[in-house]
Structure 1
Amino acid sequence: MFLRRGVHSGQIMVCLVCTRAKLPHAEELCRTLTAQFSDIATILINVNARNTNVILGSETHTLYGPGFIEDTLCGVPVQLGPLSFYQVNTLAAEQLYGIAAEYAQLTPDDLLLDLYCGMGTIGLSMADHCRELIGVEIVPEAIESAKANAARMGDAIAAKSRFFCADAGKAASQLAAEGLHPDVVMLDPPRKGCDEATLSAVVTMSPRRVVYVSCNPSTAARDAKWLEEHGYRAEKVQPVDLFPRTRHVEAIVSLQRGI
């Protein structure tokens, strides 16, 4: 079993991980839990019969409530299911995204390209400050969540936001080939960092600024070096400790195109 709690909403999700979809006395369990804990918004069963170190399976059944909880991150309303990626340290994540927005230095005429956008949280948190937002993410469920999050923010934000389901490197290369010229590119890759195709496409699009959000400073340093060798200059680096008392740290790197 695992729990998710919305820091700002207070809503709690209870997810039972079982080897089969049927749970004896499920209705009684739901009544007991919700009577004891009023903040429980939904209870689910996730089915995972595999004997691996992967916690969750792809099949989920709702026992109680809507099947998700709601919260906000940097003012962006989100709906979280059991499979949704979400920073576990919400308050520190808001600091992280705030620094990224500061480094982006957006103006009202800017086009912001958000690669590895996930549920769109980083880009949408900055959408008020730019002319257009384009987000790219390879996970279909995350893209659907990003579109829904944009819609919940109102017509003005939804109208200026577009999200595409694609590999970041291939999408960046295609957008570069189509002559897209974003003013600012936001990169938030997985721990392995960006591949050279993505970095090459970014350089081809020639944004004035690249903001790199990283959960692995060593690969961020590698990619920043590559960008430095291809016309960009690293200006600032800021670590943010999302995982206290561990060796892991997030970092934001601000890079500006050379003159």
Structure 2
Amino acid sequence: MMQKNQIISMEITGMSHDGNGVGHFDGMAVFVPDSAVGDVLSVRIVKVNRTHCYGRIEQIVAPSPDRISPDCAVSRRCGGCKFRHVSYEAELRYKQEFVQSNLRRIGGFSLEVEPIAPSPQQDGYRNKAQYPVRLQKDGLCAGFFAPRTHEVVDCHNCRLQPQKFETILETVLDFVKKYEITIYDETMGKGLLRHVYLRHGQESGETMVCLVVNGDKFPHSDELVKTLLNCDQQIVSIILNVNTQNTNVIMGGAIKLLYGKPFITDTLCGVSFNLSPLAFYQVNHDGAQQLYQIAADYAGLTGKEILLDLYCGAGTIGLSMAHRCKQVIGVEIIPEAIENAVSNAAKNGIRNARFFCADAAKAAERLASEGVRPDIIVLDPPRKGCDAAVLQSVAQMSPDRIVMVSCNSSTMARDCAILRDLGYRMQKCRPVDLFPRTNHVEAVVGLCRV
């Protein structure tokens, strides 16, 4: 039996879905963070379970050909960039295998997935950042929570964010120091500033600054507005988001406008969208355009189809395909998202799209009562995947094709296996890298009715 603090020698032969290298010693799997496939390591065992254990690198005896020098000083502490220490080519190979492995192991599919679509950008691709702000032993810190802790890793120049975010963040922090603005203490529930939330429209250039506060006012707010506008002339929206709850949830429900308009605009796949602080929008603009293009290709649109967009959110996927089909019907259970979708369709003069608020089962009933049968259904579920009832409702509507866009290939494989039992065959699957240097990967699946 392996013992804690035991030192072992081993080779990393695989990569787990959470970005830890995997090797074996005496028949037991050992998971090692910050390792690469092909590494020969000296590893200290730090935790032992019945079927597997966890280790920490003591020495790299022989580095993997995949290994490179990390270009971020805090990547190991932050934990966001699981693959900052390997080449991008190796990262893509790992992610391709994640999706392929889940289809085989969880879904029982033998289909070979298509080659992964790389992200057009590997650095600076994120159009949104949420920085927790805290007072710690080293003073005022803003950055990202270390994994499984409430410790903030101080990081203003994250390589995943655009350069302008660093400048704006430091401007806010300098202002906070100058005017002695209180910082939120989650143990006491006191202090004002909780998070700095930044959003940027890649095509429009517009930038939003949103301060999440434990109150309904911000001292010297007029001066803050002037300071931020001097810092970046592309700032068109400065907002307070009020969150007075003692919770880990970042955003509250109330919005107070300090300057400009309560949203920014951006264009995705030729469609213009208004983006409020609470609106969902893919964080990798160019990667999202690639993702939606693949989804449209899998849908096989000819201009004659009725397309049903379940989990439609603000309508990004359905509206991006509206010019290629007869009609788009968007369904979402969140009323505010439906309002956004209706507004976005009107904003773009899209007349062949309609949206209503319902769950999938109610949507199926409503469409049946109207005598409408969708030719294609697009599913873009959250990480937990689709409920079994949703998949039953989808199958009852008998679309010719189903396109699933998933941010979690484990639940995707499970849901596709259920759809297989309901009469749908998987035709294609392609991973798409929307989150370079992290362990997350999107995938698109095309299914047809048997």
Q: TM-score, normalised by structure 1?
A: 0.95
Alignment check: 8 A CA contact 1:176 1:201 kept: no
Q: Which whole-Å deviations, capped at 9, do the CAs of 1:82-119 have from their partners, x for residues lacking one? A: 11111111111111111000100112221000000011
In structure 2, C-alpha distance between the alignment counterparts of 1:227 and 1:177, rounded to whole Å: 24
In structure 1, C-alpha distance between the alignment counterparts of 2:438 and 2:215, rounded to whole Å: 34
1:212 and 2:379 aligned = no
User: Which residue type is aligned with residue 197 of structure 1?
Assistant: A
**1:126 alignment partner, SS class:** helix
In structure 2, C-alpha distance between the alignment counterparts of 1:168 and 1:231, rounded to whole Å: 18
In structure 2, C-alpha distance between the alignment counterparts of 1:235 and 1:176, rounded to whole Å: 27
In structure 2, C-alpha distance between the alignment counterparts of 1:18 and 1:196, rounded to whole Å: 39
Task: Report matched runs for 1:47-196 at 5 Å.
Answer: 47-154=242-349, 157-158=350-351, 160-176=352-368, 178-196=370-388
**2:217 alignment partner, SS class:** coil
CA RMSD between the two structures: 1.2
The offset of 1:31, in angstroms, is 0.9
User: Which residue type is aligned with residue 167 of structure 1?
Assistant: D
Number of residues paired by the alignment? 255
The offset of 1:62, in angstroms, is 0.3
Q: Which of the numbers 410, 413, 419 marks the counterpart of 1:221?
A: 413
Q: Which whole-Å deviations, capped at 9, do the CAs of 1:141-165 have from their partners, x for residues lacking one? A: 11111111111111xx22x111011
**2:389 alignment partner, SS class:** helix
In structure 2, C-alpha distance between the alignment counterparts of 1:173 and 1:51, rounded to whole Å: 40
Deviates more, 1:122-131 or 1:238-247: 238-247
In structure 2, C-alpha distance between the alignment counterparts of 1:233 and 1:179, rounded to whole Å: 26
In structure 1, C-alpha distance between the alignment counterparts of 2:365 and 2:379, rounded to whole Å: 14
State the match for 2:425 in structure 1.
233
User: Which residue type is aligned with residue 295 of structure 2?
Assistant: A
In structure 2, C-alpha distance between the alignment counterparts of 1:210 and 1:256, rounded to whole Å: 6
Alignment check: 8 A CA contact 2:435 2:441 kept: yes
Structure that is richer in helix per residue: 1
The offset of 1:179, in angstroms, is 4.1
Q: Which of the numbers 231, 241, 247 marks the counterpart of 1:36?
A: 231
User: Which residue type is aligned with residue 438 of structure 2?
Assistant: T
The offset of 1:176, in angstroms, is 4.1
In structure 1, C-alpha distance between the alignment counterparts of 2:445 and 2:376, rounded to whole Å: 13
1:8 and 2:203 aligned = yes
**2:222 alignment partner, SS class:** helix
The offset of 1:242, in angstroms, is 1.2
User: Which residue type is aligned with residue 7 of structure 1?
Assistant: Q
1:256 and 2:445 aligned = no
User: Which residue type is aligned with residue 21 of structure 1?
Assistant: D
In structure 1, C-alpha distance between the alignment counterparts of 2:421 and 2:415, rounded to whole Å: 10
The offset of 1:174, in angstroms, is 3.9
The offset of 1:180, in angstroms, is 2.6
Unpaired runs of 5+ in structure 2? 1-195
